[in-house]
Amino acid sequence: MHIEIDEITKAFGATAALHPVSLAIPSGALVALLGPSGSGKTTLLRILGGLEFATAGRVLFDGQDATGLSVQDRRAGFVFQSYALFRHMTVFDNIAYGLTARPRASRPPKPEIARRVTRLLELIQLPEIGSRFPSQLSGGQRQRVALARALAIEPRMLLLDEPFGALDAKVRKELRQGLRDIHDETGLTTIFVTHDQEEAMELADLVVVMSMGRIEQVGKPQDIRARPATPFVRDFLNA
Amino acid sequence: MSDTTLPFRNPTSETVLARRSLIALAVLGMALLVGAPLLMVFAEALAKGLGAALESLGNRDARAAIQLTLIITAIALPLNAMFGIAAAWFITKFDFRGKAFLITLIDLPFSVSPVVAGLCIVLMFGANSLIGGWLVAHGLPIVFALPGIVLATLFVTFPFVARELIPVMIEQGRAEEEAALTLGASGWRVFRTVTLPNIRWALLYGVLLCNARAMGEFGAVAVVSGKIRGQTATMPITIEMLYNEYLSVAAFSMAALLTALALLTLLLKTLLELRHADALAATRRH
């Protein structure tokens, strides 16, 4: 799905989190929102997911105005920073949640839900863990379950908030490839937030560098590296 | 090995003498202040035998008092569970101005004397007040009747559930609820399938504390109930009346029953804590 962000601003009380920000994301792209903490990248992601409403400006999905669309109707697969798995449910029930939460008319029958959950567990290469609880999983497993849960609703886009932030360096590298594979397999427009420039450069097709609620530069990783548009981008990449 | 025979002493702990005397002091204090009075209640109740104790509980007024206390508790508990959940939800899941003030307000019943709370209810709903006069004229008296006692009990026990839930809900944050919303669940469904299961132990704990206090409340109920024997006299009030009439077996039998109910609540609470600890540990690992 093609996403267009048109002059979005966001203020929390007197503090501005986003100055007017505009950005077009082509359908099927894998995009990194890169910046230090406080740069507004998570706020922008949450606005796309419908978890915050913008103070002003519009969001367009495939050319249709989605600015006021409720979080439930956005069908954005969202992966949270600490994964936010439902701790009292098994992995199976976690992944099935989005399907069982549908109104009766559009809810798939039980065997169909089970089939889809099984398929998603295979997609994340953890076919055996359906009956476990989140507390019994490693950090990397939790991240993949969160991804499977987000994919279960057949989302129109995938939004990930620091998806590798809580993992150690080795698992981080493995799961980067995992996200790339899932993106290529599903073809979903995927946007992830990170403060790690290496991660953004290695994984994304398109990198959006942000600072202080503004977009500093948008471009392919190699272009940004070769030609930093502002002093901030140059300093940030050299840090 | 020779070193196992050396007297072992943990470098951060006190000497044996200091430890033993501290423990003895604690045990003695507990026995004198808590244990002995509790035993005395049961001893006094059984002073003339079990038969006399049971007989005093079997008369019409005593049965009415027990029934009234159970009814009031049965009304107050679910209502305060609901208010408590609503207040804790509102305070922990939303940011708004005056939040600190609201939290203070929830604690108010802890700091205001129950007698003052009772007087406030009489002033607001008494037959001489505007609202009370109208209600009495329409056949629904509040003061000196069941609704007044329920109101007084609700006021006094209001903080228990909310106070238990607020720290738990703050610690858990909003991420799981937000995740459920992005998966398409409606607000009510999120509450039912995510919020409620996560707070169930804290909720039960709060309800049990609320239960103990609701059954035992004296001050506020004494003011609003009018102490009408067989009608508005709850168990604690009946105990006081019987005691003032020198009917010590009857007074202490009722007191023993009330104590037994409280002890039962405590026992349930302890059992829950054992399980609750496991559940908490499991969620902490997450």
Q: What is the DSSP letter of B191?
A: I
Do B64 and B147 fall within a single domain?
yes
pLDDT bucket at B33, cuts 50 / 70 / 90: very high
| pLDDT at residue B104 is higher than 60 | yes
Total count of domains within chain B: 2
Do B109 and B175 fall within a single domain?
yes
Do B40 and B157 fall within a single domain?
no
3-class SS of residue A54: coil
B138 or B74, which is more confident? Answer: B74
Do B235 and B189 fall within a single domain?
yes
Residue in B219, B213, B215, B220 with CA at minimum distance from that of residue B121? B220
CB B135 within 8 A of CB B128: no
- Cα B117 to chain centroid distance, Å, stands at 17
Q: What is the pLDDT of residues B160-177, one digit of tens each?
A: 999 999 999 988 889 999
Do B140 and B174 fall within a single domain?
yes
In a domain, B133, yes or no: yes
Q: What is the CA radius of gyration of chain B?
A: 24
Residues in chain A: 239
Do B232 and B184 fall within a single domain?
yes
Q: What is the pLDDT of residues A64-120, one digit of tens each?
A: 999 999 999 999 999 999 999 999 999 999 999 999 998 888 899 999 999 999 999
Write out chain B residues lying below 8 Å of A134, CB-based: 286
Number of C-beta neighbours around residue B82 at 10 A: 11
Write out chain B residues lying below 8 Å of A157, CB-based: none
Do B63 and B33 fall within a single domain?
no
Residue in B214, B279, B181 with CA at minimum distance from that of residue B75? B214
Q: What is the pLDDT of residues A141-163, one digit of tens each?
A: 999 999 999 999 999 999 999 99
Do B199 and B269 fall within a single domain?
yes
In a domain, B255, yes or no: yes
**Burial class of residue A170 (count of CB atoms within 10 Å of its CB; 0-12, 13-18, 19+):** exposed
| pLDDT at residue B97 is higher than 90 | no
In a domain, B6, yes or no: no
Query: What part of A 78-137 touches B (C-beta under 8 Å)?
Result: 78, 80-82, 84-88, 97-98, 101-102, 133-135
Please tell me the predicted confidence (pLDDT) of residue B240: 94
What's the number of CA atoms in the CB half-sphere (13 Å) around residue B160? 23
Q: What is the pLDDT of residues A25-43, one digit of tens each?
A: 999 999 999 999 889 999 9
Which of B182, B194, B285 comes nearest A86 by C-beta?
A: B194
| pLDDT at residue B16 is higher than 90 | no
CA distances from A185 to A147, A173, B215 (A): 14, 19, 62
Alpha carbon of B106: minimum distance to chain A alpha carbons (Å): 27
Residue in A49, B285, B182, A190 with CA at minimum distance from that of residue A178? A190
Q: Establish if A223 touches chain B: CB-CB under 8 angstroms.
A: no
For chain A, counts of helices (H) and of strands (E): 9, 10
| pLDDT at residue B77 is higher than 70 | yes
In a domain, B4, yes or no: no
Q: Which amino acid is at B46?
A: L
Nearest CA in chain B to A134: B286
Number of C-beta neighbours around residue A59 at 10 A: 22
Do B166 and B103 fall within a single domain?
yes
In a domain, B223, yes or no: yes
According to DSSP, the β-strands at A3-12 and A56-61 are antiparallel
Write out chain B residues lying below 8 Å of A80, CB-based: 175, 178-179
Best probe of the A interface among B183, B186, B193, B285, by most A CBs < 10 A, is B183
CB B144 within 8 A of CB B230: no
Do B150 and B239 fall within a single domain?
yes
Do B279 and B223 fall within a single domain?
yes
Write out chain B residues lying below 8 Å of A81, CB-based: 175
Do B135 and B242 fall within a single domain?
yes
In a domain, B82, yes or no: yes
In a domain, B160, yes or no: yes
Whole domain around residue B192: which residue ranges? 50-284
Report ipTM (2 d.p.): 0.92
C-alpha span between A85 and A80 (Å, rounded): 9
Q: Which of B172-179's residues contact partners 24+ apart within 8 Å by CB, and which partners? A: B172/B198, B172/B199, B172/B283, B174/B93, B175/A80, B175/A81, B175/A82, B175/A84, B176/A84, B176/A85, B176/A86, B176/A87, B177/B93, B178/A51, B178/A78, B178/A80, B178/A84, B179/A78, B179/A80, B179/A84, B179/A85, B179/A86, B179/A149
Number of C-beta neighbours around residue B283 at 10 A: 18
* CATH number of the structural domain spanning residue B191: 1.10.3720.10
Percent of chain A scoring above 70 in pLDDT: 100
Write out chain B residues lying below 8 Å of A141, CB-based: none
CB contact under 8 A, B175 and A49: no
First to last CA, chain A: 34
In a domain, B3, yes or no: no
